[in-house]
Structure 1
Amino acid sequence: MERTAADAHVPGAQVPEGGPGGSGLMPGPLERAVYGLFVSSSLDLAARHGVFARLAEHGPSGTAELACALGLDEDTLGRLLTVLRAFGVLTADPRGRYSVPAASLPFLDPRESRYLGGFLRHLMESTTERLRRLDACLTLGRAGAEAALAEPLDEPFADLYRDAESTDRFLDAMWQLSFDVSAELVELAQLEGARHLVDVGGAGGPFAVAALLRHPGLRATVFDLPQVGPKLAETGAAYRLGERLSFSAGDFHRAELPAGDCLAFGYILSDWADDTCLDLLRKAYRACAPGGVVLVMDRLFDESGYLPPATAAMNLAMHVETQGRHRTGAHYLELLRAAGFTGCEVRHTSREKHLVLGRRAAGPGGAER
């Protein structure tokens, strides 16, 4: 599970029309950080009320035209659009007609696989509220904050899965963040020899579906909490995967993992502390066929330990949403080796999420894939 206010920044957004230096009252990076709250809120509202969808479908439009077409208040919409233009999310021609820059369009057009509207809504409705708990963590420490607040800081799933609507909304957000990059992760994983993929905590199946679409001879099992089952069934039907995509209900903390020759953890281990990650990887080792592989997919800090910015922001969110953190590739390699895997390596995508791979040694007389 992954959520961070930093992700509300739209990749490829143009530099604001006022220039990179800010208003003159403060440096540009500081100004963007101070007023980022308004940008995130404006992005979320514009996405939910169809502004970006309208621009993507009908092209440049003025405030009055958009307000009329979408049934919105023109004054409020105009102020919102001004914020998005000032921060480079939208551009406007001399006639005041707004457009989405081409680089940002795949992230703001609901018809695109990289659309992040659902994730923006999750940020504003869930993550923002939980970030308020950082004050208690900062002054009291995590354990002290939990005692003072009389509630655990790291049990978001009970709320996210409280009913069918909440579950669908969360799984949709995770799909939007994961499906598009999954195609690249599948290529890096080199699954040509795999027969059975077990996607641990696979949610709505973005990685499993991408793998099945790329490898016709593969079958996949998503192992996750029972609430996920209906959504996965819808996904399987939508992609006409039939029996190739199956669901196994369970809690990976309490149960052993289904057996397969490829075990995948997509954005799961960053939710947990090292000792829990090691326990899960040891379960994966036991479930993995000799010669098989384990795949860890996640955001990674680079060697600097603080970049990229979205990973740093996510790392802070993890402090109040989970028990985990984001790690470097080297850190994951250590965990994989400690769990018994060999031939471990990091493979980078062109995006913000990457692959760390480990192999289970083949049995006597066998060969590793």
Structure 2
Amino acid sequence: MLPSALEKAVYGVYATTAIHLADKHGVFGFLVDQAAPTAEIADKLGLDGETLDRLLVLLDSFGVIDRNEDGAYLVTPEMAPYLDPRSPRSVGGFLSHVMGSTIGRLPHLDGYLTDGKSAVDAALPAPFEVMYKTPKLTEEFLAAMWELTYDVSRELVPMAGLDQVGHLVDVGGASGPFCVAALEATPGLRATVYELPEVEPYVADTVEKFGLQGRLDFAAGDFHRDEFPATDCVAFGYILSGWTDETGLELLQKAYRACSDGGRVLIMDRLFDDDRRGPLPTAVMNLSMHVEAKGRHRTSAEFIGLLEAAGFVDCEVHRSTQDKQLVIGHKR
């Protein structure tokens, strides 16, 4: 028998596939509300019983779901926030992006190892040309970003000092999950999502859904080529980890120019521990950034170094109970 850590690593690809399929076909949503045996689940959801049973046995073996003494499967209260498709912490959107986009790029790692990333990527489209290539891919990517961002943002917003801010610009802010969390918690705040033009309809949907007319708007732009709108606060959520230090510094310098005196920049991202041995989700996404983008994940000290090089001072680090953390820099 393999050591436990190696066993889970080797067989994890099967579990990821099973979790994605169970979410896609409504199995988790069904089991959150009631325990049921395979035959009942298959009948209610119109699924093939044998295939479903094999998926459920695997998920039970991994501890993702449970099976009671009557042979009925169920989602435990511990797992429900992450498996219930109605929950803001659901992993479903993220896994849809992984299975629909990331998994197809992982084979490039073989070429990266032998020939280097720059040589292999020269023949490939740019990252966001892939993510925004079709409406379906765009929708899946934005759904994944919402699930990774909105819930943890409700923890990060109180740490960000937004009560001292009149206007916030979220650079690469997707369909607006951080802006929504910030506006919900901060009366009087206005926010702008600064994104590629393809994202505008999704931000419009967010404005309508949350009743944020007059408080949340959209500015189209390419953050590599264009300056940012003038503001009191620039936010980067899961942005700088997608780019090299050189590009990250350029973006932070643009943020410095956009900020009013006394303004601030918010970096919200996964952080490596100081010794770069973890945590595991950061190590996983650090590899993902290698194939999906052009960046890497950093320690808090590395982010502070970039902030100070761009001119920001009095940097702060705030940690949530989840994977996304907050680094703040202030403009004099």
Is 2:92 the partner of 1:129?
Answer: no
Q: Which residue of 2 aligns with 1:30?
A: 6
Amino acid corresponding to residue 6 of structure 2 in structure 1: L
TM-score, normalization: structure 1? 0.89
State how far apart, in whole Å, the 1-side matches of 2:31 and 2:209 are.
27
* Deviation of 1:166 (Å): 2.2
| 1:159 paired to 2:159 | no
Distance in 2 separating the partners of 1:200 and 1:225: 10
**Deviation (angstroms), 1:169:** 1.7
Aligned partners of 1:322, 1:158: CA distance in 2, in Å? 11
Q: 16, 19, 30: which is aligned to 1:40?
A: 16
State the partner residue of 1:112. 87
Matched, 1:80 2:55: yes
What root-mean-square deviation, in Å, do the aligned CA atoms of Structure 1 and Structure 2 show? 0.9
Residue matched to 2:171: 200
TM-score normalised according to structure 2 size: 0.98
Correspondence for 1:210: 181
Q: Distance in 1 between matches of 2:118 and 2:87?
A: 42
1:67 Cα deviation from its structure 2 partner: 0.3
Partner SS state of residue 162, structure 1? coil
Determine the structure 2 residue equivalent to 1:305: 276
Give the corresponding residue for 2:207: 236
Deviation at 1:163, TM superposition (A): 2.6
Q: Per the alignment, in what secondary structure is the counterpart of residue 123 of structure 1?
A: helix
Amino acid paired to 1:276: T
SS in 2 for 1:265: strand
Q: Does 1:175 align with 2:175?
A: no
Q: Identify which of 286, 300, 306 aligns with 1:315.
A: 286
Task: Give me the whole-angstrom Cα distance separating, in 2, the residues matched to 1:144 and 1:166.
Answer: 26
1:55 alignment partner, one of 7, 10, 31: 31
Instruction: Give how far 1:165 is off.
Output: 2.5
CA distance in 2 between counterparts of 1:109 and 1:156 reads 30
Amino acid in structure 1 at the alignment position of 2:120 = A
Q: CA deviation at 1:162?
A: 1.9
| Mapped pair 1:186 → 2:173 | no
1:346 pairs, out of 317, 320, 323, with 317
Question: Could you say what secondary structure the match of 2:87 adopts?
Answer: coil
Per the TM alignment, residue 360 of structure 1 is displaced from its structure 2 partner at its CA by 0.3
For 2:15, the aligned partner's letter is V
Aligned AA for 1:60? Answer: A
Structure 2: tracts of 5 or more residues without a match:
none
Residue 159 of structure 1 and its aligned partner are, at CA, apart by 2.2
Which residue matches 1:18?
Answer: none
How far apart are residue 181 of structure 1 and its match? 0.2
* Cα drift, residue 104 of structure 1: 1.2
- Counterpart-to-counterpart distance in 2, 1:168 and 1:261: 30
Picking from 90, 93, 96, the partner of 2:71 is: 96
Tell me which amino acid in the other structure corresponds to 2:235.
A
Map 1:348-363 onto structure 2 (within 5 A): 348-361=319-332
Deviations 1:91-113 (A, max 9, x none): 10111111112111011111111
Higher mean C-alpha deviation, range 332-341 or range 100-109: 100-109
Deviation at 1:205, TM superposition (A): 0.6
Residues 96-154 of structure 1: per-residue CA shift (max 9 Å, x gap): 1111121110111111111121111111111111011000001111123235xx225xx
Which residue identity is paired with 2:224?
Answer: H
Structure 1 gap segments, 5+ residues each: 1-24, 362-369
Distance 2:119 2:151 in 1: 40
